[in-house]
Amino acid sequence: MKFIVSSTYLLKQLQVLGGVINSSNTLPILDNFLFNLDHSSLTVSASDLETTMAAKLEVDSDSSGSVAIPAKLLLDTLKTFPEQPLTFVIEDNNTVEISSSYGKYALAYADGNEFPNAVTLENPSTTTLESDILATAISKTIFAAGNDDLRPVMSGVFFQFTNDHLTFVATDAHKLVKYTREDVNASQAAEFIMPKKPLNLLKGILAGNDETVTIEYNESNARFTFDNMELVCRLIDGKYPNYEAVIPKENPNRLVIGRNQFLNSVRRVSIFSNKTTHQIRLKIAGAELNISAEDIDYSNKAEERLTCDYQGDDMQIGFNSRFLTEMLNNLNSDEVQLEMSLPNRAGILTPVDGLDEGEKVTMLVMPVMLNH
C-alpha cells in the first residue's frame, strides 16, 4: 500500500481530526488515526468511541488497504515540513515509511481492523442548513451549557427542530440561552441533546464556511456531513428540562442601555465584588442605573452611575457578574435590553439590534439574593 500526498494539505486535515482524540484513552488503538485507502481516495478517521470524525482526501495512489498510524508522532512530524509531496509506503515489517525531500522516517503502525467502526444510523431524519448558521447557533449557546456530571442533559445543547423554525437551547440552571432561526426549518419535528465536545469541533471547522451541512439523527446518534468531512456522535440520553416554563413572561420593568458601556462597567465594578459570589447590585431609578459591588471581608467597594432608558418601577436586583459578563460578551449588538419583574425573578437580556432577519436571541440570568 502506497500513496503520495501534499504535506500541508494532510496536516491541515489531521489537525482538525486531532481534536477528537483524548489525551488519555482507555483503548490504545484510539491514540491513532485510521488511514483507509481506496485508490486515489484516502479517508482518515479519529475516534474517542463517543465521537468519530472522518475526512476524505485526494491522494495519488492505485493501491488500497487500511492501517492505524500514531496520531501524535505523525502530527509532530508533519508540523516541521514546509509544503512538499510526501510518499507513504506501508511495509510488511509493520512500519510505515514516510519519504520527504529531506529524508525518510519510519513509524510503527497497528492493524486498521482493530479500529472501532463508526456507528451507522438506522433510518435517520435529515435537515440541511448553512454552515455559518450552525456555527453561530453553537457559539451563541454552548457557553451557557453546564458541566455537572450529575445532570448530563444540561451539559449539552438542546436542538429543537420544527416545520417553521429551529431552536437551540443551553442552560446550567443559573443562566439560559435560547437561539432561534425562523428563516430555516426542518421537514419533520425532532429534538435531541448534543454533547459539547463534538459541538466545539464543529464550531471551529464551520465558522466562516459557506458550505451546507446535512444533519442526520435518530434516537441515539447524529451525523453531520459537509465539505469532505463527516462527524458522527452519540447523543446525550434523557429528557431536556422544560425551558419555556423558566422564562418569565410578564416583565414590566425594561432597561435599554449601550452594550459596551454596560459590559465595561460590570467588568470594572466586579473586580471589587466578593470572590466567591461575584455579586453586583443594579439599582435603577428614573434614567439612572447604579452598579455597585462590595467585598465586606476586605473593605473593597466600587460604584458607577450610568444613564439608561428605563421604563418601570424603581428596583434593586443582584446578579453574578461572571454570568452577566459572559452574556454581554456573547452578543454583538450596540444596545441591549434587560427585562425584569421582581428582584427574585430571572432577568431577560436580549439584543436590540445587530440580528439577521429571522434570528432571535434570548438570554436569561438568575438573580442572586441581595444582603441588605
The predicted model scores a pTM of 0.92
In a domain, 119, yes or no: no
**pLDDT band with cut points at 50, 70 and 90 for residue 153:** very high
Pick the closest to residue 322 from 279, 282, 362, 371 (CA basis).
Answer: 279
Count of domains observed in the chain: 3
| 21, three cell numbers | 482524540
pLDDT of residue 161: 94
Is the per-residue pLDDT at 45 higher than 70?
yes
Sheet with 166-171: strands ordered across: 190-195, 156-161, 166-171, 175-181, 359-365, 347-351, 335-340, 253-258, 309-311
Estimate to the nearest angstrom the gap between the alpha carbon of 309 and the chain centroid.
34
In a domain, 11, yes or no: yes
Under 8 Å between Cβ of 80 and 7: no
Q: Tell me the mean pLDDT in the region 112-122.
A: 92
In a domain, 101, yes or no: yes
What mean pLDDT value characterizes the chain? 95
Q: Which structural domain range is residue 101 located in?
A: 2-114
In a domain, 120, yes or no: no
Work out the percent of the chain whose per-residue pLDDT is above 70.
100
Is the per-residue pLDDT at 261 higher than 90?
yes
What's the rounded Cα separation, in Å, for the pair 94 and 72?
18
In a domain, 38, yes or no: yes
Q: Tell me the mean pLDDT in the region 60-88.
A: 97
pLDDT of residue 240: 96
Phi, psi of 165 (to 5 degrees): -165, 170
Statement to judge: residues 258 and 239 lie in one domain: no
Statement to judge: residues 80 and 167 lie in one domain: no
For 309-330, what is each residue's pLDDT tens digit? 999 999 999 999 999 999 999 9
| 245, three cell numbers | 416554563
Where do we find the cell 428540562? Answer: 241
pLDDT of residue 207: 83
Statement to judge: residues 341 and 241 lie in one domain: no
Residue partners of 6: CB distance under 8 A and separation at least 6: 83, 84, 85, 86
What's the rounded Cα separation, in Å, for the pair 126 and 224?
10
Statement to judge: residues 235 and 278 lie in one domain: no
For 171-202, what is each residue's pLDDT tens digit? 999 999 999 999 998 888 899 999 999 999 99
Name 208's bridge partners: none
Where do we find the cell 440580528? Answer: 355
Is the per-residue pLDDT at 262 higher than 80?
yes
Sheet with 41-47: strands ordered across: 110-111, 64-70, 32-38, 41-47, 51-58, 229-234, 221-226, 212-217, 125-130
Indicate the residue among 217, 245, 273 that finishes a domain. Answer: 245
Work out the percent of the chain whose per-residue pLDDT is above 90.
92
Statement to judge: residues 318 and 294 lie in one domain: yes
Where do we find the cell 486498521? Answer: 112
In a domain, 79, yes or no: yes
Q: Tell me the mean pLDDT in the region 144-162.
A: 95
From residue 158, give the alpha-carbon distance in Å to each of 72, 138, 140, 237: 33, 10, 13, 11
Statement to judge: residues 267 and 181 lie in one domain: no
Statement to judge: residues 133 and 239 lie in one domain: yes
Indicate the residue among 191, 221, 245 that finishes a domain. Answer: 245
Statement to judge: residues 89 and 9 lie in one domain: yes
In a domain, 282, yes or no: yes
pLDDT of residue 15: 97
| 196, three cell numbers | 459539547
Strands 359-365 and 175-181: antiparallel
Statement to judge: residues 142 and 201 lie in one domain: yes
Where do we find the cell 462590595? Answer: 294
Is the per-residue pLDDT at 98 higher than 90?
yes
Statement to judge: residues 258 and 238 lie in one domain: no
Statement to judge: residues 134 and 172 lie in one domain: yes
Statement to judge: residues 321 and 363 lie in one domain: yes
Name 300's bridge partners: 295
pLDDT of residue 371: 72
For 14-40, what is each residue's pLDDT tens digit? 999 999 999 999 899 999 999 999 999
CATH of the domain at 328: 3.10.150.10
Give the CA count within 13 Å in the CB-facing half-sphere of 64.
5
pLDDT of residue 372: 62
Is the per-residue pLDDT at 118 higher than 90?
no
In a domain, 147, yes or no: yes
Indicate the residue among 114, 147, 162 that finishes a domain. Answer: 114
